Amino acid sequence: MRTANSVEPAPYLPALRRVYEPLQPYGLTILRIALGVYLMLHGYSKVFEGSTAGLAAGPISKMGLPAPLVWAYIVAAVEFGGGLLIAIGFLTRLAAALVLVEFIVIVLRLKLPNGFFAMAPKAIQPGYPGMIPGGYELELLLGLLALTFVITGAGRLSIDRAIGREHLSSNSGSTV
């Protein structure tokens, strides 16, 4: 309802309203699927191609975590399994929270000393075996995307919504 003091938002390009207005509710769905697939691709080699041993011997050992092989399998499960859950929109907030924790650890314990930029000259110097040392910009972005889904849930076109879970509606008329 429009009141005397409210201002209806106007699109910058009114001619495109017909295009983006029907697609607007699916913006988070597109991001959710992209994040989930990205995580699954990173977890795939760890789960199915045996790269967990290298992960355990390299970055996880360098961080000084106990039982590095156990942690490597946890990382593999979070990336592949969590990515799958996020992509299909099932248990989205839980999976996204686990991914968020992983990326907080990566940023704070592994990447922070390298600075922000992943491709800065510092990123070319030798670092952890099997890794290209670089800044934390990508991991920060992925963590913020995960945080987005912790906050918003799965959005439309998700299993969570189809089974009536985790969908919160607001009075503003927007749906997530």
Quote the radius of gyration of the chain (alpha carbons, Å).
20
Digit-coded pLDDT (tens) for 1-29: 556 567 877 888 888 889 888 888 899 99
> Where do the structural domains in the chain lie, given as residue ranges?
26-161
pLDDT reported for residue 170 = 46
pLDDT reported for residue 172 = 36
pTM summary value:
0.81
Name the more confident of 30 and 130. 30
State how far the alpha carbon of 14 is from the alpha carbons of 9, 10, 17, 20, 21, in Å.
11, 7, 5, 10, 10
Digit-coded pLDDT (tens) for 72-83: 999 999 999 999
Rounded CA separation 67/84 (Å): 26
Rounded CA separation 82/64 (Å): 24
Rounded CA separation 15/26 (Å): 20
